[in-house]
Amino acid sequence: MQRTKVKSASRTLEVLELFMDERRPLRLNEIYKALNYPQSSATNLLKSMVLMGYLNYNRANMTYLPTMRVTALGSWLPSMINREGGLVSLVDEIQRRTDETVGLVAQNDLYIQYIILKTPGHEFKMAPNEGTMRLMVDSSSGLALMSRMRQREIDKIYRYSCHYGLGGETLPQFEDLMREVRWTRQVGHAYVPKRPTPQLSSIAMPLDENLYGIPLAIGVGGMVDRISRAKQDILDVMSEAISAFKARQEQEDAREHEALLNAA
């Protein structure tokens, strides 16, 4: 059984993602051709988005462009993430010290999702976009998150992934998955070379922190040979940065607790 998307919802978001990629006003024919929509469906969808205030329609040149209302939808998220113990600073520090792509990852149902990504300036990278989702049972960050779960929770994630036909033939056997989870739990990190992309490797650690109840992990990824050569250095940097992050969290919690006691 395949998990299906609601067509109207997915098309609305695909239109906005097209503008994100193109970064310019677009005509109707450019939109429906790029997204392979029927012209009539695209026309009705774009008119609805104009009426709701998410697209601007310029009658003079017959082009559409997102409005600032689109930006406002998620404008509160960066400040929320920054408030949660300096997560952006943690990503920045690890990226600066490793000179590889670093991602803060959140669990999203059966997937992991990159919510903050920082990339290096060099050309040896194949970084995903922020917001990209990957199957939890087939990623290093997923293993890191699952290393903090009970087996019955992992079993449920795996069974639903199979039930919805996610991952196809690339899905590991459950016994192999649990072997990787146990090893990750033992050594404190997940190292997945050449998966899901053969040219790439990644190392991930659980943060033992959450964002409004959403479990988090942090990962460092890059070309296979670069990550393999620098693996121990990367692990040292990640461990040091995460330890410092947790110490700052504890200090902040202690200050907040003291402030509450003083106010009582």
Question: For the chain, what are the domain ranges?
Answer: 7-72, 77-259
pLDDT interval class at 255 (50, 70, 90): confident
Cβ atoms of residues 81 and 116 within 8 Å: yes
Cα–Cα distance measured from residue 34 to residue 258, given in angstroms and rounded to the nearest whole number: 57
Contact of 11 with 35, CB cutoff 8 Å: yes
C-alpha 107/C-alpha 214 separation (Å) is 6
**Rounded to an integer, what distance in angstroms lies between the CA atom of residue 248 and that of residue 182?**
29
DSSP state of 127: P
Poorest-pLDDT segment among 82-86, 181-185, 257-261: 82-86
Strands (E), 78-188: 101-108, 111-118, 133-135
Q: Do domains 7-72 and 77-259 have the same CATH topology?
A: no
Q: Is the pLDDT of residue 6 over 70?
A: no
Q: Cα(84)–Cα(225) distance, rounded to whole angstroms?
A: 34
Which strand (E) or helix (H) includes residue 90?
helix 87-98
Let me know: does 58 contact 25? Beta carbons within 8 Å: yes
Residue 165 has pLDDT above 70, yes or no: yes
**Cis check: omega of the bond before 196, within 30 degrees of 0:** yes
pLDDT at 206 > cutoff 90: yes
CA–CA distance, 92 with 185 (Å, rounded to integer): 25
Helix (H, G, I), strand (E, B) or coil at 204: strand
CB 180, CB 190: distance < 8 Å: yes
**pLDDT higher at 257 or 28:** 28
**Can you tell me the distance from the alpha carbon of 146 to that of 181, in angstroms, rounded to the nearest whole number?**
7
- Over residues 48-106, the pLDDT tens digits come to 999 999 999 998 889 999 998 888 887 777 766 665 558 889 999 999 999 999 999 99
pTM above 0.75, yes or no: yes
- In the beta sheet, which residues pair with residue 104? 116, 218
Tokens read off for 174:
């459950």
Average pLDDT taken over every residue of the chain: 89
SS3 (DSSP) at 128: coil
The whole-number pLDDT of residue 84 equals 55
- Whether pLDDT at 4 is above 80: no
The separation between the first and the last C-alpha atoms of the chain, rounded to the nearest angstrom, is 56
Task: Write down the CATH number for the domain with range 7-72.
Answer: 1.10.10.10
- Cα separation, 32 vs 39, in Å, equals 6
Distance between CA atoms of residues 55 and 27, nearest Å = 12
| pLDDT in the model for residue 222 | 94
**107 contacts: CB under 8 Å, gap ≥ 6:** 113, 136, 145, 214, 215, 216
The highest-level CATH class for domain 77-259 is: alpha beta
pLDDT range class, residue 141, cuts 50, 70, 90: very high
